[in-house]
Structure 1
Amino acid sequence: MTPRTPARFADSRHEDRRRTFPALQPLEGEDFASSWWGNAWVEALEDTALDRARLTRGRAYARRGHVDAITVTPGRVMAYVHGTRPRPYRTEIRLRTLTDGDWDDFLATAAARPDHIAALLDKDVPHALASVADLLPTPGDLIPDCSCPDDGYPCKHAAALCYETARLLDEDPFVLFLMRGRGEREILADLSHRNATRSAAERTGAASGTPVPTVPASEALAARPLPSLPPPFAPPAHPGRPPAYPQTPGAPDPLALDLLATEAASRAHTLLTTSTDPLAQLTQWQDAVRLAAAHPGSGLTASTRALYRDLAVATDHTPTDLARAVAAWRQGGLVALAVLEEPWDPPAGPFDRARPALIAADFPHFRPWRNHLSTRSLQLRFGRDGLWYGYESDPDREDWWPRGTPDADPVGALTALLGR
Structure 2
Amino acid sequence: MTPPPDRLRSAPARVRRSRPSAVTHEDRRRTFPAVVPWTGEETATTWWGREWTRALEESALDPARLARGRAYARRGLVDAITITPGRITAYVHGSRPRPYRTRIGLRVLGDGEWDELLAAAAGPEYFSALLDKDVPRALAATADLLPGPGDLIPDCSCPDDGFPCKHAAALCYQTARLLDEDPFALFLLRGRGEREILAALIRHDSTGGPGPAGGAGTGEGPRLPTVPADTAGALHRPVGVLPPPFPVPAHPGRPPAGSDEPGAPDPLALDLLATEAAHRAHALLTTGADPVAGLTVWEDTVRLAAAHPGAGLTASTRTLYRDLAGAVGRTATELARAVAAWHQGGRAALAVLEEPWDPPAGPFDRAGPALAAAGLPAFRPLRNRLSTPAVQLRLGRDGLWYGYESDPGREEWWPRGTPDTDPVGAATALLGP
**Interval containing the TM-score (normalised by the shorter chain):** 0.5 to 0.7
Question: For residue 85 of structure 2, what is the aligned residue in structure 1?
Answer: 113
Alignment of 1:260-271 (within 5 A): 260-271=273-284
Question: For residue 166 of structure 2, what is the aligned residue in structure 1?
Answer: 179
Instruction: Give SS of 1:182's match.
Output: helix
Long gaps (5+) in structure 1: 1-8, 19-71, 77-94, 117-127, 143-167, 187-193, 200-204
Query: Does the 8 Å CA contact 1:324/1:401 hold for their aligned counterparts?
Result: yes
Letter in 2 for 1:113: P
Per-residue deviation at 1:416? 1.2
Alignment of 1:204-243 (within 5 A): 211-212=205-206, 216-219=224-227, 223=232, 224-226=235-237, 228=239, 230-231=242-243, 233-238=245-250, 239-243=252-256
Instruction: Give SS of 2:418's match.
Output: strand
Answering whether residue 89 of structure 2 is matched by residue 129 of structure 1, we say yes
Per-residue deviation at 1:311? 0.9
Instruction: Quote the Cα distance in structure 2 between the aligned partners of 1:173 and 1:330.
Output: 43
Per-residue deviation at 1:11? 11
Letter in 1 for 2:287: T
Distance 1:413 1:178, change over 3 A: same
Query: Does the 8 Å CA contact 1:388/1:408 hold for their aligned counterparts?
Result: yes
Instruction: Give SS of 2:73's match.
Output: coil
Alignment of 1:3-402 (within 5 A): 15-17=61-63, 75=68, 97-99=72-74, 113-114=85-86, 116=87, 129-131=89-91, 134=92, 139=97, 170=157, 175=162, 178-180=165-167, 182=169, 211-212=205-206, 216-219=224-227, 223=232, 224-226=235-237, 228=239, 230-231=242-243, 233-238=245-250, 239-402=252-415
Per-residue deviation at 1:398? 0.2
Bigger drift between 244-253 and 327-336 goes to: 244-253
Instruction: Give SS of 1:312's match.
Output: helix
Per-residue deviation at 1:337? 0.4
Letter in 2 for 1:340: L
Instruction: Quote the Cα distance in structure 2 between the aligned partners of 1:100 and 1:386.
Output: 50
Distance 1:99 1:368, change over 3 A: closer
Superposed CA RMSD: 4.3
Per-residue deviation at 1:252? 1.9
Instruction: Quote the Cα distance in structure 1 between the aligned partners of 2:370 and 2:76.
Output: 68
Instruction: Quote the Cα distance in structure 1 between the aligned partners of 2:430 and 2:71.
Output: 45
Q: Rg: which structure is higher?
A: 2
Instruction: Give SS of 2:89's match.
Output: helix
Q: In the TM superposition, what whole-angstrom CA distance separates every residue of 1:215-271 from its partner, at most 9, and x where no partner exists?
A: 724248551445525245145134333222122322221222122122222222333
Give TM-score scaled by structure 1 length.
0.57
- Residue identity (%): 55
Distance 1:175 1:324, change over 3 A: farther
Instruction: Give SS of 1:313's match.
Output: helix
Per-residue deviation at 1:277? 2.0
Long gaps (5+) in structure 2: 1-54, 101-154, 174-185, 192-197, 208-221
Per-residue deviation at 1:130? 1.4
Per-residue deviation at 1:395? 0.6
Query: Does the 8 Å CA contact 1:335/1:385 hold for their aligned counterparts?
Result: yes
Instruction: Give SS of 2:284's match.
Output: helix
Instruction: Quote the Cα distance in structure 2 between the aligned partners of 1:281 and 1:259.
Output: 21
Per-residue deviation at 1:138? 7.3
Letter in 2 for 1:97: Y
Query: Does the 8 Å CA contact 1:367/1:375 hold for their aligned counterparts?
Result: yes
Instruction: Give SS of 1:259's match.
Output: helix
Query: Does the 8 Å CA contact 1:17/1:182 hold for their aligned counterparts?
Result: no
